[in-house]
Amino acid sequence: MPNAGAMQPFIYQPPATEPLPVLFADDSLIVLDKPAGLLSVPGRLEDHRDSLLTRCLIDFPDAQVVHRLDLATSGVLVMARGLEANRALSRQFQQRSVAKAYTAVVEGRPEMAQGEVDLPLICDWPNRPRQIMDFEVGKPSQTRWFRMDDGEDWPGIESTRLRLEPITGRSHQLRVHMAEIGHAILGDSFYATPAGQAVASRLLLHASRLSLRHPLSGDPLTFEAPCPF
């Protein structure tokens, strides 16, 4: 008898991006609006080779990865053009001088208008890519959140729109942190309740804004992508 609790095999069905969703491009960087359901970079398996990077390389052969978004997350993603720009941009991410803001719709209604989550995270290896909270060996992880409304109407569930600002950049950080404080992101197949998973056809998490400095000139830049939900 099949195990009813076993995770279903992942079937990769990437969405179309024609034309390529470029928000900005110059000789040093490319800024894209990644759709949900598309890998940021190619996966290990042959049928997971399609990705935002793969598609970007067609128009920008010198594109290089600087950071990533989860498969299920949409929004602003930056790529470097050339080694010098890659080094400069990567340094900004490593030094946490890049400001990122996400829009999310979560289960329930937080009592406070804002808050901060400080919970260490580590990969749950037997169930990867899931992440778990672990105070002994987890890596420090912090997220600020801000309530954007007093409640949204999603069928059959109380929900709230939040702005999330990650201080650190751990895998699944925003998703785990929201679930751990009782407000999992709607449509999250890993961390939401069954009702929270069923109410949305996609993860309601979008990288809405990203601010950094130009890798060559040092000028401050801010990029935004409209939230699709």
Residues with active-site annotation? 70
Rg of the Cα atoms in the chain: 18
Q: Is 219 helix (H, G, I), strand (E, B) or coil?
A: coil
Distance CA 159, CA 141 (A): 24
| Residue closest to 141 by CA, chosen among 181, 171, 161 | 171
How many angstroms separate the first and last alpha carbons of the chain? 39
- The alpha carbon dihedral of 8, 178, 194, 74 has a sign of negative
Q: Is 225 helix (H, G, I), strand (E, B) or coil?
A: coil
